[in-house]
Amino acid sequence: MTLTDKRLEWKARYDAWKSSDLSIAKWCREQGIKVHQMYYWIQKLESNEESSERLSSETQWLAVNMEDESSNTATQEPVFIHFGAISVEVRPGVNMDLVSDIVHVLRNEC
Q: Could you report the average pLDDT of every consecutive run of 10 residues in the chain (110 residues)?
A: 86 92 94 94 83 59 67 71 80 84 76
In this structure, the chain runs to a length of 110
Distance CA 10, CA 1 (A): 12
Separation in Å, CA 95 to CA 34, 70, 81, 90: 56, 20, 15, 9
**pLDDT computed for residue 34 by the predictor:** 95
**pLDDT computed for residue 66 by the predictor:** 67
Nearest CA to 24 out of 45, 6, 3 is that of 45
Distance CA 46, CA 11 (A): 10
Task: Report the predicted TM-score, pTM, of the whole model to 2 decimal places.
Answer: 0.46
**pLDDT computed for residue 5 by the predictor:** 85
**pLDDT computed for residue 27 by the predictor:** 94
**pLDDT computed for residue 74 by the predictor:** 59
Query: 57 and 66 in contact (C-beta within 8 Å)?
Result: no
Backbone angles phi, psi at 74, to 5 degrees: -65, -25
E strand segments, the chain: 79-83, 86-90
Query: In 26-36, which positions are buried (b, 16+ CB within 10 angstroms) versus exposed (e)?
Result: ebbeeeebeee
